[in-house]
Amino acid sequence: MTWFLIGVGGVVTSHGVGMAVPDWPNTYGYNMFYFPFSQWVGGIFWEHSHRLVASLVGFMTLMLAIWSQGQGGRRLLRFFFFPAGLLISLLVLFFVRENVGQHLSITLGFSLFVLGVSFAWPRMGAAPVLVRRLAWAALGLVVCQGMLGGLRVTLYADQIGIFHASTAQLFLVLISVIALIVSPLWANQKPSQLLNSGSSSDQAAQRVKASWFSWAMLVLSLVVFMQLILGATMRHQHAGLAVSGFPLAYDRFLWPPTDQDFINQINSERIDHREFEPITALHVQVHMVHRATAVLLLLGAAVLTAWVVRRYGWRHAHAMQSLFFLGLISTQAALGIATVLSNKAADLATLHVMIGALTLVSGSLIFLNVRRELHLANASSRVRSKAILPAKLKPEWSSASA
């Protein structure tokens, strides 16, 4: 659902309809959840849909955080969220002047809902401490994300949209990490035979290789995140096509000039109706850095994959992970090229955003998976050494005692 939400947000930005609904948290004066469907037209459809999907993801994250408390979720619902809903209802009653009935129905309905759920909440054990902390961190992050989205509308600040988009990527990674940690894959994971076979020097060498692979994957994932930030900067500054043409910029430059005369000439030629503002030299530089980093990222992923395949073979898990990551990077690069050549077609630009998010998640989860494997291998070695050491020393201790 979070990945789908990022896709809907990408459609909003690709179509340039982020301000199709100019008020928040209301929608044209209506409570968001009471906005008439007959008025979902044009860009309003995408922006309002984005808000509703975001509300659903926020509600699901709230349920995840409470669910992680196990039976303790009963107390949270009954003694915190129910009174909080009643308090918000009172504030609505005394301070809201428009559509009071709509707002009260939502807040009171939520209060009664959580009160009823608290009596039917299952009596189960709480999740591990790490999962609980991550779940509450996800709730805090999704609240922050919603506030950033609202401020971007009320303050009419494109810059806030950059933080809004970047935080969405981090939230997706966090939710995916939680899903990995609570999955059977994580619970039943065992270290590779290569990490625990052969002599101690062979095991150490294999673990060094695996460690290098994990840290290289982390570096590539951080570069992907930087790319997503650069992409969000271009999209929310309405400079997604600050530089046209591929592979040469404007079909004639390896790196275009940024003097004022050239920028004025380019602005006079920009006729795309989705571009609301003229480009600047900074827009051109950010776009070109985005392109150059994409090339470096693709080369880095290819080199890492070749290195892993050479040392482990095609069928090893690390090789398969590298190939999958390289495939996503290649798809992302192809979509970026297609976006430029198609004059920033909305569907291609949105897919570019969604595959970028999937690439970031994949790299992050591969890193965690390999670090978990190394941790299990080291723990297994420590257990074996403790089991073997007393057996070897026992005769010496016996003779010394005698």
List pLDDT tens digits, range 173-208: 999 999 999 999 888 877 665 565 656 676 777 888
For residue 345, the model assigns a pLDDT of: 87
| Contact present, 246 and 337 (Cβ < 8 Å) | yes
3-class DSSP state of 128: coil
3-class DSSP state of 163: helix
pTM of the model: 0.88
Output Rg (C-alpha) for the chain, integer angstroms. Answer: 27
3-class DSSP state of 41: coil
Computed from CA positions of residues 116, 120, 126, 131, in that sequence, does the dihedral angle turn out positive or negative? Answer: negative
For residue 397, the model assigns a pLDDT of: 40
Cα–Cα distances in angstroms (integers) from residue 372 to residues 186, 203, 297, 388, in the given order: 8, 16, 25, 24
At residue 2, φ and ψ (nearest 5 deg) are: -65, -40
For residue 279, the model assigns a pLDDT of: 85
**Residues of the chain below pLDDT 70:** 191-200, 202, 238-240, 271-276, 381-402
C-alpha 99: how far from chain center? 35
Burial class (CB in 10 A: 0-12, 13-18, 19+), 283: buried
| Contact present, 32 and 51 (Cβ < 8 Å) | yes
For residue 396, the model assigns a pLDDT of: 46
For residue 400, the model assigns a pLDDT of: 43
What CA–CA distance (Å, rounded) separates 229 from 166? 6
For residue 131, the model assigns a pLDDT of: 96
For residue 378, the model assigns a pLDDT of: 79
Find where tokens 């998976």 sit. 369
For residue 332, the model assigns a pLDDT of: 95
